[in-house]
Amino acid sequence: MSLAIFDLDNTLIGDDSDYLWGQFLVDQGVVDKAHYERANEKFYDDYKQGTLDIVEFLGFSLRPLAENLPEQLYLWREQFVRDIITPLLLKPAQQLIDKHRAQGDTLLVITATNRFVTEPIVQLYGITNLLATTPEFVDGRYTGGFVDIPCFQDGKVKLLEAWLKNSTESLQGSWFYSDSHNDLPLLKLVDRPVAVDPDEKLALFAKNANWPVISLRNEVCPTHHFHK
């Protein structure tokens, strides 16, 4: 029994939930289309290039949470998950999760996308353990800020280490599945890193490091790496 860790965006789902949530808010008329769309695109490009200023991005992405009542936000989120996210769930991802579950492994998702957006998505895969950037919630409202540290790059490692101290789990025999070179700090830390539909930088690193590279975009879950 080991710890099986999964990234979310472009790993377990076929797109980026953070970016799509922003576009959903544009489509709903919640935010200014021209300004928000342009900024959302720029931040997403920065993320893919590995140059994202995570604190600046969180100031941008969490602002709509502060500007709207939680009750309305929850209704939008429900619609977003139903209409936008559900079609992006990947059957091979569920099969991979189920294999780890059948082995008795502990399942954990670690994502830079904030908990407000990702918690219901992760639950669709039957996973209850989630480490994500946590929006601040005070006196019944989101503030637009965040608590602790962003769950991004080295922050994923720090939050995982803190989580491990309060659990019975360890990194012995651990897996981490990710598509992004932004996750290299954590990929290097686990015993069994797996590149999933990797971006160009991660694909090159995985090849040089002789890491398994798999795709979850097909109809059948790959199995060749699983029992290594």
Looking at residues 98-123, what average pLDDT do you find? 97
Query: Is 83 part of any domain?
Result: yes
Q: Which one is predicted more confidently, 224 or 10? A: 10
Reply yes or no on whether 9 is catalytic: yes
Q: Is residue 226 very low, low, confident or very high in pLDDT (cuts 50, 70, 90)?
A: very low
Cα 83 to chain center, whole Å?
Answer: 19
pLDDT at 225: 47
Instruction: For residue 52, give its domain range.
Output: 3-214
Residue 210 within any structural domain of the chain:
yes
Domain presence at residue 131:
yes
Note if 7 is an active site residue: yes
Lowest mean pLDDT of 87-101, 195-209, 211-225, name the range: 211-225
Candidates 7, 18, 105, 199; catalytic one: 7
Is 124 part of any domain?
yes
Q: What is the pLDDT, as a whole number, of residue 220?
A: 60
Q: How many domains, in total, are found in the chain?
A: 1
Mean pLDDT of 72-97: 97
The answer to whether 16 and 10 are in contact (CB under 8 A) is: yes
Among residues 9, 18, 183, 197, which one is catalytic?
9
In a domain, 198, yes or no: yes
Q: Residue 76's domain is classified under what CATH number?
A: 3.40.50.1000
